[in-house]
């Protein structure tokens, strides 16, 4: 049978509260940990690359003392094993069920009654129940506990804990309002005012501790930029959806008014800090260069045809912006930054478009270091096609990508296969015998090119097939027409099937 909410006299008792709850088949902590956190992406993300980063926010923001859109787009499966940004959507219904149970059990009410006497141990008990005890830890203890956790794990746990906390405080407020309504007729008004003050103090202490994590993360730069941006957006979204209205009302007592202003000010500061950090990171991502300049792997640029990590990174940013498109609009409107141009009124499409353009420019500059022009254009083809096919966006972005792709394909064909076809042209040196040596040179160049490019990798099967067809149309069909123009070489027509077989195994890596 559920424990009833304590009366005002019980809350005001000087006896320590008994936090022990009747045995449950499934504890609140376990229920909170199993709350569904739905990612905006099809696959999950384990921030293993961020494990070496430490939780620097503790030293600056935490005290060791515990007291105190309907557009047409799609996402193709992502096969890379690198970390990906997480878009968090919490199961609010599950969080509210847990919070209401905490209120009905009287657990939060007892915490409020105990907080005035033992604030440190009370907050530890509360945050432990919320699976957010690390928020109260000192820098050294927190760093030791969190050394194996990635930023996404911290954000997930914080989001779960914060949401349940807010819902539980709101549910408890409803319960205490009902109790107070009866008590005012039976007890001194002073008791009801005292209860409201206890609640106000508890809410202020709880909220300030939780918001300190968000403030510190907004100022932290030890995580990968995209990890940090994803986490900040998740925190902003959670805070924006879940506020504590318990102190928003006009209160008569001066201390309550002070606490109300303090909590409201904390929310405003935190949201402002998050907005500023998000806008800064978003603008850096749009420019591409600030993000890639601090990325070690960009300096060690390898000359191969495969999709570069920088391309995957920018696509991850694009996915993140698209998933949080509504949030970016809200943030832009809240800041009203005069330095932001009109394009921000159409985020995230304009941001994604500009990111893609800037990425293409960067890739073209880097690809100039390739000694083999054929490999250079195949690299650009792979990367352009990855962005074009694996992240489609409406508007001019697709047109720009398609135009670039066509240019790269044309240049690749010219660099790779035009020299092969030139062997069949009549404009050969005079000392070359007609036809027989032309064919010999053609076959030699064809086989040499196929052997070299067979080891080059085109990951996307659609692009692989498209390129093979283009080669067949240009080289093999061209060779067939050459044989038709020279019937005396008909015996060489048997080579056509072998040549096509060689083309059909290209780009397997």
Cβ contacts of 304 within 8 Å, gap of 6 or more: 375, 379, 456, 457
The position carrying tokens 């000087």 is 14
User: SS3 sequence, 433-477?
Assistant: CCCHHHHHHHHHHHHHHHHHHHCCECCCHHHHHHHHHHHHHHHHH
Q: How far apart are CA 48 and CA 50, in angstroms?
A: 5
Average pLDDT on 432-449 reads: 80
Nearest residue to 178 (alpha-carbon basis) of 106, 250, 99, 260: 106
Distance between the two ends of the chain, CA-based, in angstroms? 66
Of 239-248, 271-280, 299-308, the poorest mean pLDDT is in: 239-248
Cβ–Cβ < 8 Å for 466, 406: no
User: What residue segments make up the domains of the chain, in order of their start?
Assistant: 8-272, 288-416, 417-509
Residue 195 binned pLDDT confidence (cut-offs 50, 70, 90)? confident
- What values do phi and psi take at 457, rounded to 5? -110, 130
Average pLDDT over residues 420-447: 75
Return the higher-pLDDT residue of 423 and 35. Answer: 423
67 pLDDT higher than 50: no
pLDDT digits (tens, 9 = 90+) for 214-243: 999 999 888 888 889 999 999 999 998 887
Distance (Å, whole) CA 362 – CA 381 = 14
Q: Is the pTM of this model over 0.85?
A: no
Q: Backbone dihedral region of 507: left (phi > 0), alpha (psi from -120 to 50 degrees) or beta?
A: left
């Amino acid at each position: 049978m559920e424990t009833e909410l304590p009366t005002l006299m019980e809350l005001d008792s000087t006896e320590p509260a008994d936090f022990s709850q009747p045995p449950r088949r499934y504890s609140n902590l376990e229920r909170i940990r199993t709350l569904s956190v739905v990612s905006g992406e099809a696959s999950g993300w384990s921030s293993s690359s961020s494990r070496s980063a430490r939780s620097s926010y503790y030293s600056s923001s935490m005290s060791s003392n515990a007291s105190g859109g309907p557009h047409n787009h799609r996402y193709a499966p992502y096969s890379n094993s690198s970390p990906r940004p997480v878009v968090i959507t919490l199961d609010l219904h599950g969080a509210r069920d847990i919070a209401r149970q905490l209120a009905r059990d009287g657990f939060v009410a007892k915490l409020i009654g105990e907080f005035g006497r033992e604030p440190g141990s009370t907050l530890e008990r509360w945050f432990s129940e919320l699976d957010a005890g690390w928020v109260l830890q000192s820098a050294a203890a927190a760093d030791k506990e969190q050394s194996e956790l990635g930023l996404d794990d911290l954000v997930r746990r914080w989001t779960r804990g914060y949401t349940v906390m807010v819902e539980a405080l709101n549910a408890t407020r409803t319960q205490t309002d009902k109790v107070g309504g009866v008590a005012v007729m039976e007890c001194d008004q002073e008791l009801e005012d005292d209860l409201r003050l206890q609640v106000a103090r508890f809410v202020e202490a709880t909220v300030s501790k939780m918001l300190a994590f968000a403030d510190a993360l907004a100022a932290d730069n030890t995580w990968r930029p995209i990890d940090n941006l994803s986490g900040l957006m998740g925190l902003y979204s959670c805070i924006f959806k879940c506020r504590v209205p318990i102190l928003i009302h006009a209160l008569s007592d001066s201390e309550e008014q002070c606490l109300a202003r303090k909590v409201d000010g904390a929310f405003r500061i935190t949201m402002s800090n998050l907005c500023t950090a998000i806008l800064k990171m978003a603008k850096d991502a749009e420019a591409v260069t600030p993000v890639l300049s601090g990325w070690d792997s960009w300096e060690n640029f390898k000359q191969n045809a495969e999709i570069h990590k920088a391309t995957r990174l920018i696509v991850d940013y694009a996915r993140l912006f698209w998933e949080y498109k509504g949030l970016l609009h809200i943030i832009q409107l809240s800041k009203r930054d005069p330095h932001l141009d009109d394009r921000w009124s159409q985020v995230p499409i304009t941001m994604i478009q500009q990111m893609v353009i800037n990425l293409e420019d960067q890739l073209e500059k880097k690809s100039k270091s390739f000694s083999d022009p054929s490999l250079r254009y195949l690299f650009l083809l792979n990367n352009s096609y990855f962005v074009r096919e694996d992240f489609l966006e409406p508007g001019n972005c697709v047109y720009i990508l398609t135009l670039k792709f066509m240019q790269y394909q044309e240049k690749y064909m010219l660099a790779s296969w035009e020299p092969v076809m030139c062997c069949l042209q009549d404009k050969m040196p005079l000392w070359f015998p007609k036809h027989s040596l032309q064919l010999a040179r053609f076959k030699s160049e064809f086989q040499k090119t196929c052997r070299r490019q067979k080891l080059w990798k085109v990951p996307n099967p659609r692009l692989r097939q498209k390129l093979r067809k283009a080669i067949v149309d240009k080289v093999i069909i061209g060779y067939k027409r050459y044989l038709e123009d020279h019937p005396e070489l008909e015996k060489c027509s048997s080579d056509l099937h072998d040549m096509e077989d060689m083309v059909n195994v290209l780009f397997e890596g």
